[in-house]
């Protein structure tokens, strides 16, 4: 018999966060989070997303053994301002037992119906900067710190429980030296001259901070037309600023501004921390922090985390400026592999942007939905 219990205490929440450590203990591809940070992200007093969202966390037990978990999420900005009556769920992990996954999903469905929502979709996080999608291809590739990894049986559980495909995401990778640098160098000069643009590079995180709010404003403008988009609020900007910006190499953040110093494009790349996180195994101390600092300095793999271009400058070659700057930085750093975060399968503009690098799709992931 399966028992579903709501997380009520700090001890419960720690068990919720640590469950995947046992589920994936033998996997060479799963990348563990830092336990302390993961717990903090679920704390309503620390994560400002809870100003506009709510979540309930559940553990599934078979006897005294934890066999699954799920987070049931409602983003009220999405429901009330966008009129998208969606019941979100994420952090959904379970042993290969249909009874376990069904019991957890039934609990999410129950909450969605209580709030009069139209459908449930997952796995998704609180917002667009969270992890998204269940992995359906690419199980033999190491995960990243900004994506979920899962066993191959997950997909069949969704489909046998009556869920259907909602969105599909592609993850691609390419060699840093895959494209002809002269192609971007020449285009970059032409675009800068035609539109009066210039690049901005940084050496210190402190120099980036005054621009961060403008960067998130531009992020909101860039993606506002996507059906799944939920804007980043002012209070979330402050949270992400403190949590992430100082953690990213300043030389991996590129801006493009116009003649009036207005931000028209940005991109953020992160070193790959996957192997360092595996060595840390959920803890910064005593040695985890050193593995992460070493990866920040020495990793030869990078992840394209975010890119944003003002709607007025889309399809005008502005990415040539960004790519030219990254090419120079990657050459100096000896970067070998570039990995892209999940991108919607039907986002043709994104695919066109990367075509000169001859990217290879190495992972696919999907969200599933079910009417309530």
pTM of the model: 0.94
Average pLDDT over residues 110-135: 95
Is 214 found in the same domain as 163? no
Is 106 found in the same domain as 52? yes
Is 212 found in the same domain as 167? no
257 or 232, which is more confident: 257
Is 296 found in the same domain as 274? yes
Average pLDDT over residues 339-359: 88
* Cα(57)–Cα(372) distance, integer angstroms: 20
Residue-level pLDDT at 232:
85
Task: Give me the chain's average pLDDT, please.
Answer: 94
Is 129 found in the same domain as 238? no
Q: Are 38 and 60 spatial neighbours (Cβ–Cβ below 8 Å)? A: no
pLDDT of 227 above 70: no
Q: Is residue 166 part of a domain?
A: yes
Is 220 found in the same domain as 153? no
Is 115 found in the same domain as 51? yes
* Cα(17)–Cα(31) distance, integer angstroms: 13
Is 321 found in the same domain as 204? yes
Q: What percent of the chain has pLDDT over 70?
A: 99
pLDDT of 246 above 80: no
Domain count of the fold of the chain = 2
Boundary (domain end) residue, out of 121, 155, 171: 171
The CA R_g of the chain, rounded to the nearest whole Å, is 21
For 77, 183, 250, 322, the CA distances from 329, given in Å and listed in that order, are 38, 16, 11, 11
Tokens of 156: 């069949």
181 or 71, which is more confident: 71
pLDDT interval class at 223 (50, 70, 90): confident
pLDDT interval class at 348 (50, 70, 90): confident
Q: Is residue 366 part of a domain?
A: no
Average pLDDT over residues 203-214: 92
* Cα(323)–Cα(180) distance, integer angstroms: 11
Residue-level pLDDT at 299:
96
Q: Is residue 248 part of a domain?
A: yes
Average pLDDT over residues 203-215: 92
Average pLDDT over residues 231-260: 88
Is 152 found in the same domain as 71? yes
143 or 231, which is more confident: 143
Residue-level pLDDT at 242:
79
Question: Could you tell me the sign of the dihedral formed by the alpha carbons of 300, 144, 40, 86, in that order?
Answer: positive
Is 248 found in the same domain as 164? no
Residue-level pLDDT at 294:
96
Q: Which domain holds residue 272?
A: 177-335
Is 22 found in the same domain as 85? yes
Q: Are 94 and 84 spatial neighbours (Cβ–Cβ below 8 Å)? A: no
pLDDT interval class at 251 (50, 70, 90): very high
pLDDT of 231 above 90: no
Residue-level pLDDT at 228:
66
pLDDT tens for each residue of 286-337:
999 999 999 999 999 999 998 999 999 998 999 999 999 999 999 999 999 9
Boundary (domain end) residue, out of 144, 171, 198: 171
pLDDT of 3 above 70: yes
Is 166 found in the same domain as 235? no
- Of residues 209, 355, 252, 273, the one with CA closest to residue 37: 273
Q: Is residue 340 part of a domain?
A: no
Boundary (domain end) residue, out of 120, 150, 171: 171
Q: Is residue 10 part of a domain?
A: yes
Q: What percent of the chain has pLDDT over 90?
A: 84
Q: Is residue 344 part of a domain?
A: no
Q: Is residue 24 part of a domain?
A: yes
The CATH number covering residue 274 comes to 3.40.630.30
For residue 179, report the phi and psi dihedrals to the nearest 5 degrees.
-105, 155
């Amino acid at each position: 018999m399966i028992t579903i219990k709501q997380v009520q205490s700090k001890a419960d929440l720690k068990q919720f966060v640590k469950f995947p450590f046992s589920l994936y203990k033998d996997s060479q591809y799963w990348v563990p989070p830092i336990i302390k940070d993961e717990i903090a992200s679920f704390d309503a007093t620390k994560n400002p997303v809870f100003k506009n969202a709510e979540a309930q966390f559940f553990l599934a037990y078979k006897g005294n053994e934890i066999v699954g978990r799920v987070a049931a999420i409602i983003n009220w900005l999405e429901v009330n301002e966008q009129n998208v009556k969606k019941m979100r769920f994420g952090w959904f992990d379970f042993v290969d037992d249909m009874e376990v996954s069904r019991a957890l999903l039934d609990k999410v469905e129950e909450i969605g119906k209580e709030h009069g929502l139209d459908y449930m979709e997952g796995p998704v996080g609180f917002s667009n900067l969270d992890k998204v999608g269940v992995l359906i291809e690419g199980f033999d590739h190491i995960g990243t710190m900004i994506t979920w990894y899962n066993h191959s049986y997950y997909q069949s559980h969704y489909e046998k429980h009556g869920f259907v495909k909602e969105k599909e995401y592609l993850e691609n990778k390419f060699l840093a030296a895959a494209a002809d640098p002269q192609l971007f160098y020449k285009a970059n000069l032409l675009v800068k001259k035609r539109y009066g643009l210039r690049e901005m590079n940084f050496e210190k995180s402190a120099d980036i901070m005054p621009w961060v709010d403008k960067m998130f404003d531009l992020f909101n403008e860039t993606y506002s037309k996507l059906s799944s988009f939920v804007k980043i609020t002012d209070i979330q900007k402050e949270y992400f600023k403190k949590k992430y910006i100082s953690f990213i190499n300043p030389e991996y953040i590129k801006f493009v501004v116009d003649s009036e110093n207005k931000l028209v494009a940005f991109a953020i790349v992160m070193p790959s921390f996957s192997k360092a996180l595996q060595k840390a195994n959920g803890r910064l101390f005593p040695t985890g922090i050193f593995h992460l600092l070493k990866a920040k300095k020495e990793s030869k793999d990078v992840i394209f985390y975010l890119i944003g271009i003002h709607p007025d400058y889309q399809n005008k070659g502005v990415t040539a400026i960004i790519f030219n700057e990254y090419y120079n930085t990657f050459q100096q750093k000896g970067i070998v592999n570039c990995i892209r975060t999940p991108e919607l399968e039907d986002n043709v503009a994104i695919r066109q942007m990367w075509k000169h690098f001859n990217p290879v799709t190495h992972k696919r992931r999907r969200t599933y939905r079910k009417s309530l």
